[in-house]
Amino acid sequence: MALRASTAGLELLILTDHDSVAGFPELLEAAKARQAPVSCGIEINTADSGVHILGYGFEWDSPSLMKILADFRARRLMRVEKMVDKLKSLGFPINLDDVGRVSKESLGRPHIADALIKKGVVKSRKEAFDRWLSGGKPGYVESLGPSPKEAIELIRRFGGFASLAHPHIIKNPERIPEWVEAGLEGLEGYYADLNHPQKWRDLAQSKNLLLTGGSDFHGPGSGRDKIFGVQIPDEIYQAFLDRLLRCSHGIYRA
């Protein structure tokens, strides 16, 4: 990833894995070799369907934070186990080991989908989600993650700032003002397949929120594999950068 970023002339690469910062030390080492500026972010899955909170500039190497994130991942694993059990009860030839073999990451629904692909049950992640793994489908289990407020407060507690990821997929946008009161500072108004982008950019302006952007890159074959798929205006990037540079764990340079 660092090689692709430096080759493409990317000014800053931020890793925002789900509920984990475990991949950042490896990225940091690779970035040093390429003299590519990087930063550690995170995407916290909350108990509200589709509500993911992005964190930037926080103390990613804090042992206390690591412990909390380990608990989040344990909850994710519990959810995966419950979904696998549901799928097994429906007659699918799948177990937890099958899911674990497709990823070294914090496990979640995409990895269940990958296991189903390997078993020949479905042809793509989209099919897996559409038929079995989305809300209301036979294999779905509600998230066991923290509330959006808890996720925002956690990021702030460790010196970072929070932004709402892909707002167009959340089911309760009327709660955004509530999250702003809890300390939400940004909203992802630049995103690979954002529906009605101006609506969200206008909302961000009305609430005095930073606009953030991201590719939602999930790796080759994921359906979200365009690492440089979003263009962000210079002034939006500069405002984000100014905020990031006020954090103690903002940008790492070679």
pLDDT at 158: 98
Mean pLDDT (10-residue bins), the chain, 254 residues:
60 91 92 88 92 97 96 93 96 94 82 94 94 94 94 98 94 94 96 82 95 78 58 92 95 84
Domains in the chain, please, with CATH?
2-69+148-245 (3.20.20.140), 78-133 (1.10.150.650)
Assess contact for 62 and 95: CB atoms under 8 A: no
Q: Would you mind telling me the total number of residues written for the chain in this entry?
A: 254
**What single string gives the DSSP state of each residue in 95-115?**
-HHHHHTT-SS---HHHHHHH
pLDDT at 71: 95
Assess contact for 53 and 151: CB atoms under 8 A: yes
User: How wide is the angle at C-alpha 187 spanned by C-alphas 155 and 224, nearest 5°?
Assistant: 90
pTM, two decimal places: 0.86
In Å, how far are 10, 15, 60, 151, 184 from 23, measured between CA atoms?
19, 8, 11, 20, 25
13 SS3 class: strand
